Amino acid sequence: MAVMINPDKRDLLRAAPRLMQILRVLARHKFLGVLRGKRHWPPPKEVRETFEELGLTFLKFGQVLAMRRDLLPDAYIDELELLHDQLPALGIYAVQATVEFELGAPLTELFASFSETPLAAATIAQVHEATTRDGRHVAVKVQRPGLERMISTDISALATLVALVEGLFPRLHSLDLPVIVREFANSLNRETDFLREARSIVLFRTALADVPDLWIPDVVAEYSNGNVLTMEFSDGERVDLYARLHPDTISHSINTLVRLMLQTIFEEGLFHADPHFGNVLVLPDGRLSLLDFGMTGELDEPMRESLTLLLEAVVKGDARATTEAYLEMTPASERVNRASLLADIKAALYEIHRTSLADVSIGDSFNSLLRAGSRNGVHNPPEFFLLTRAFVILESMIHQLDPDHDYMESFNKEITRLTAQHFSLARIKEKTSKLAREVERLISDAPGDTRRVLRRFAEGNLGQLQAPTIEALGGRISRNLERLTGAIVFAALVVGGSMLLMPPIMAGWTYTLGKAMTLSGIVGMFIMLVGSFLRDRGRRRN
C-alpha cells in the first residue's frame, strides 16, 4: 500500500537517533549558520551535497525546495535542480519479493520474461521491462521496500527540527516552514500512491484521447496492486535524442506538447508536473508518448477560471487585474499587504514586458508572482508551485529542442482554440442545461427547505413566537426564494446571451438568439424589480 505520512503525528522516540544524525550532517556542512542570517549561509554546492548525504527523503525535499524561487535565491535553486533522481538499483531478489507479495503469485508464473536490469532506478521506484504470460510487452514499476518507515522517520525528524528552529528564532515564522514540511509530506503521499497514479493515467488517457499525435501507455490492472504498477511498454526514444536525428519534425512535436499541457489544464483541470526529457518519448511512427504520472496536479473549476484571468492580465500588463486574479487562486488571509503586493506585481510586470512578447516566459512570470506573494503574506497553494514547475520545465525543454521556436505563438494558438471551444454552442448548451437543472432543483427543494427551517425555528429558541409571526416569517422566506429563483433565471439569460454575442461567433442566427436572450433577461429583471417594489410598498401601507 502507499506510504501515508502525517507530519503532525511525530514519533519523537523513534526519530531522535535520526534527528541527531541530521544535526551532525548539517553542522559538518556549516548549515547551522543559516540561523544567523543570509550572510552566514553555506555555498549553494554545499547545500546540494548536504541533501545528497542525508538520503532519499532529503533528496526529494531538495527537489521540492527547488520549486520555491519565492523563498531561495536563484543560485541555490539552480544548484538544487541538479539533485539527481537516480539511486543504486535494487537487487533482483528484492524486486521479486515485492512483486510476488503484491500480486500473490511467483514471478515465473506471472511473467514469461522479466529483465533483471532495470530501465531506470529512481528514489521511489525502479522500472523493469517484462513480458506477461499472454504475450503482452509491459513495463513494471516496483516501489522500493521499507519506504514507509524510512520516510515517516525522516518527516518526524524534519518536523521536530522545524518546530525547534521556529521556537528559537521567531523571525522564521514568516517562512511558513511547518506548512512546507506538511505539503512535502503530502507530495510524498501522492508520489508513492501507485493506485492514485493508475487513476491519473486513466484520466489523462481520457482527457487526451482526441490528440492524434499522442499515446499514453495504459495500466495493466491485473498486474498492478499497491507497490507494483504495470503499464504497456512504450517503445520510443527520448524526445531530445530524437530531435537530433529528425530536426525537421521537432516543431510539430513541440506544438503537441503545448497542446496537451494546456488542454489538460483548462479542460480537465489536470496537468503533468514533471514533463522532462525522460518522461517524453517519440514512437517509431512519430507520435509522442507521455510517461510517469506520479507527480500530477489538479485544479478545480474556480481556480482554472482565475488562472485564465491571470494569464490574460499578465499578457496585457494589467497589474490590478493580475493581483485580483492571483489572490482568487490563493487562500484568503488577513496577513496579505495588498498595497505592497500590487506595487510588487506592477514592478514584476514592468520587467516582464520590457522584452518582446515572443520572449515572455509563463514559468518566469509565475515565479515572479510567487515571490511577490510570499513577500507580502500570501500563502501560495501547492498546485500553483506544481503548475509553475510544469511550465518552467516545459519551456526549458522547448528551448533546448529548438531555440528558435516561437513558444508564445504555439501558446496563443492553443489558447485561441480552447477559447473558441469554450464559447461553442455545444458548451453553452451544456452550461445552460446544468444551470437549468440547478434552478429546477432549487425550486423543487424550496418548499421543503422552508418547512424544515420553520420547524427548527418552532422547536428551538424561537419556539415561543406566535403562529402569525412564524407565518409572516415563512412568507418572507418564500418571497425571497421566488425572487432569488427569478434573478438566477434572468441572469442566466443575460450571461448566455452575452456569450453568444462574443467573438468568434458574432454571426448568423446565434447572434440574433444572443440579442434576444440578453434583452429578455434584462427586461425580466426590470419587471421583477418593479413588481417587488410595488408589492413591498403595498405591504407597508397595509
How does pLDDT run across 71-129, given as a tens digit for each residue? Answer: 778 888 888 888 766 667 889 999 999 999 999 999 999 999 999 999 988 888 999 99
User: CA 470 to CA 480: how far, in whole Å?
Assistant: 15
> At 105, which CATH number?
3.30.200
User: How long a stretch of residues is the chain?
Assistant: 542
Q: Give the Cα separation of 192 and 198 in Å (integer).
A: 11
Residue bearing cell 550572510: 39
* 241 within 8 A of 315, measured Cβ to Cβ: no
| Per-residue pLDDT tens digits for 260-304 | 888 888 888 888 888 888 889 999 988 999 998 988 888 888 888
**What phi, psi does 282 have (nearest 5°)?**
-115, 125
Q: Is residue 1 part of a domain?
A: no
Amino acid 148: pLDDT: 80
Write down which residue in 233, 253, 286 finishes a domain: 233
pLDDT of residue 466 exceeding 50, the answer is no
Residues 6+ apart with CB under 8 A from 92: 116
Q: Comparing C-alpha atoms, which of 185, 199, 90 is closest to residue 142?
A: 90
Regarding whether 485 and 391 lie in a shared domain, the answer is no
Supply φ then ψ for residue 507, to 5 degrees.
Answer: -160, 160
Shortest CA distance to 138 belongs to which of 46, 222, 44? 222
pLDDT at 504: 45
Helix (H) or strand (E) holding 215: strand 214-215
| Residues 227 and 262 placed together within one structural domain of the fold | no
Same domain, 131 and 152: no
- Give the separation between CA 117 and CA 34, rounded to whole angstroms: 42
Give residue 152's domain range: 12-85+148-190
Cα separations (Å) of 331 from 164, 382, 477? Answer: 27, 11, 32
Work out the pLDDT band at 535, boundaries 50, 70, 90: low
Q: What is the pLDDT of residue 367?
A: 86
Calpha distance 210→267 (Å, rounded): 12
Of 274, 292, 344, 364, the active-site residue reads: 274
Whether 178 shows a pLDDT value over 70: the answer reads: yes
Question: What pLDDT score does 135 carry?
Answer: 94
pLDDT of 319 > 80? The answer is: yes
Phi first, then psi, for residue 189 (nearest 5°) are -60, -45
DSSP code at position 346 = H
In this prediction, residue 269 carries a pLDDT of 85
Pair 517, 494: CB distance under 8 Å: yes
Q: What is the DSSP letter of 265?
A: I
What does pLDDT average to over the chain? Answer: 78
Q: What is the pLDDT of residue 304?
A: 85
CA 188-192-195 angle, to 5 degrees, is: 135
Asked if residue 386 and residue 302 are part of one domain, the reply reads: yes
In the structure, what pLDDT confidence band is assigned to residue 388 with cuts at 50, 70 and 90? confident
Least confidently predicted of 51-60, 419-428, 447-456: 419-428
Residue 457 pLDDT grade (very low, low, confident, very high; cuts 50, 70, 90): low
Q: What are phi and psi of 137, to 5 degrees?
A: -85, 120
- In the chain, what percentage of residues exceed pLDDT 90? 18
What one-letter code names the amino acid at 410? S
Chain position carrying cell 514568516 = 174
Residues 22 and 164 in one domain: yes
Assess if residue 4 is contained within a domain.
no
Residue 103, domain member (yes or no) = yes
**Do residues 410 and 430 share a domain?**
no
C-alpha cell at 363: 514559468
Q: 434 and 349, same structural domain?
A: no
Helix (H) / strand (E) element for 517: namely helix 508-541
Total domain count, the chain: 4
236 phi-psi bin (left φ>0, alpha ψ -120 to 50, beta other): beta
Q: What is the pLDDT of residue 257?
A: 86
Contact call for residues 231 and 147 (beta carbons, < 8 A) = no
pLDDT at 201 over 80: yes
Residue 175 resides in a domain: yes
pLDDT for 101: 93
Q: For residue 3, tell me if it sits in a domain.
A: no
Q: What is the mean pLDDT of residues 305-315?
A: 83
2 within domain boundaries:
no
* Residue 42, phi then psi, degrees to nearest 5: -70, 160
Say what the pLDDT of residue 408 is. 73
pLDDT of residue 442: 58
Same domain membership, residue 302 and residue 221 = no
Amino acid found at 432: T
**What residues have CB less than 8 Å from 24, skipping those under 6 apart?**
none
Provide the angle, in degrees to the nearest 10, between the axes of the packed helices 338-352 and 362-375. 160
pLDDT band per the 50, 70, 90 thresholds, residue 136: very high
Are residues 452 and 348 part of one domain?
Answer: no
pTM (two decimals):
0.68
User: Which residue type, as a one-letter code, is found at position 141?
Assistant: K
- Whether the predicted pLDDT of 534 surpasses 90: no
- Domain edge (last residue) among 215, 233, 251: 233
Active site annotation includes 274: yes
8 A C-beta contact, residue 103 and residue 110: yes
How large is the greatest C-alpha to C-alpha distance in the chain, in angstroms? 90
Contact 297, 273 (CB under 8 A): yes
Cell of 77: 535553486
Domain assignment of residue 450, yes or no: yes
Task: Identify whether residues 58 and 199 lie together within a single domain.
Answer: no
Give the separation between CA 396 and CA 388, rounded to whole angstroms. 12
Are 229 and 370 contained in the same domain?
Answer: no
Q: Answer yes or no: is 7 within a domain.
A: no
Rg (CA), the chain: 28
Listed range (117-126, 130-139, 412-421) with the worst mean pLDDT: 412-421
Same domain, 305 and 440: no
- Beta bridge partners, 132, equal 111
Q: 420 and 499 in contact (C-beta within 8 Å)?
A: no
Contacts of 33 (CB under 8 A, 6+ apart): 40, 41, 42
Q: Which of 31, 86, 94 is nearest to 59 (CA)?
A: 86
Contacts of 507 (CB under 8 A, 6+ apart): none
Last residue of a domain, one of 368, 390, 416: 416
Range 489-494 average pLDDT: 62
**What pLDDT is recorded for position 468?**
46
Q: What is the pLDDT of residue 133?
A: 93
pLDDT at 123: 82
Answer whether 137's CB lies under 8 Å from 143's CB.
Answer: no
**What is the rounded CA–CA span in Å between residue 34 and residue 12?**
24
